[in-house]
Amino acid sequence: RVIAFLRFRPDLLFDFDPAHNPVAFPSPRSWEFAHRALEKFSERADLLTGALQACVGPAAGVELNAFISNLDQMPDLEAIVNGDDIDAPKEIDLQYAVASALVGHAIRAKKLADPAIVQGNILSYANKFPQREMGVMMVSDMHRAIGEDLFALPEFANWADKIADIMIFDHA
C-alpha cells in the first residue's frame, strides 16, 4: 500500500525542508516505518493516523491514511495512462486525487521518447469526469506544467470541443 501511494504521489518519497525543522518528514527510511505502522495498526483506525503522522510527518501521514481508506475505489492509473477505457470515480475527493495523480503522470511523461501518447490518453480521460470542471482543472494544471505543446495534441482539440459550453460564454 505504501508503494501504491508513492506511485500516486512520487513527490513525497523525500520531502525535507530544513527551514521548518520537522520532527518527522517523508524519506525512504520513514516510509519503511510507515509500512511497519500500517502492518501493526491497520485494525486500529483510532491509532493509525497518528502513527503514520509520527513516521512521515503530519501532511504525508494524513494523505497516506486517506489514500489507503479509498484505495479500493481508485481507478487503475496505469490503465488510464495506457489508454484503457476506465470510468472516473463519482466521489469528488477521488476525482481530485485521480486528476492530481494524472497531472503527475503527464509531467513525468515528458522524459519518455513519445510523451504525446501518455499525455493524449490523459487528455482523453479528462472528458470522463462527472464534474467537468475537474477535467478543466486537470488540463489547466497540465498546461502550466507542460506548456504550449499540450495544445498541439489532437486529444486537446477533442477535449476543448466537449467543454466549450462551460468555458465560453456570450456577453450579449
pLDDT digits (tens, 9 = 90+) for 39-83: 999 999 999 999 999 999 999 999 999 888 888 888 999 999 999
Q: Identify the pLDDT of residue 96.
A: 87
Low-confidence ranges of the chain (pLDDT < 70): 168-172
pLDDT for position 4: 82
Instruction: Provide the pLDDT for residue 168.
Output: 65
Biggest CA pair distance of the chain: 63
pLDDT at residue 172 in the model:
53
Residue-wise burial string across 6-20, b where 16 or more C-beta atoms lie within 10 A, e elsewhere: bebbeebeebeeeee
Residue 119: closest CA among 93, 138, 134: 138
Give residue 34's pLDDT. Answer: 98
| pLDDT the model gives residue 171 | 53
What pLDDT is stored for residue 169 in this prediction? Answer: 56
pTM attached to this predicted model: 0.74
Dihedral sign for Cα atoms in the order 76, 81, 82, 85? positive
Please report, for residues 16, 43, 50, 63, 80, the alpha-carbon distance to residue 26 in angstroms, rounded to integers and kept in the order given. 7, 23, 15, 12, 27
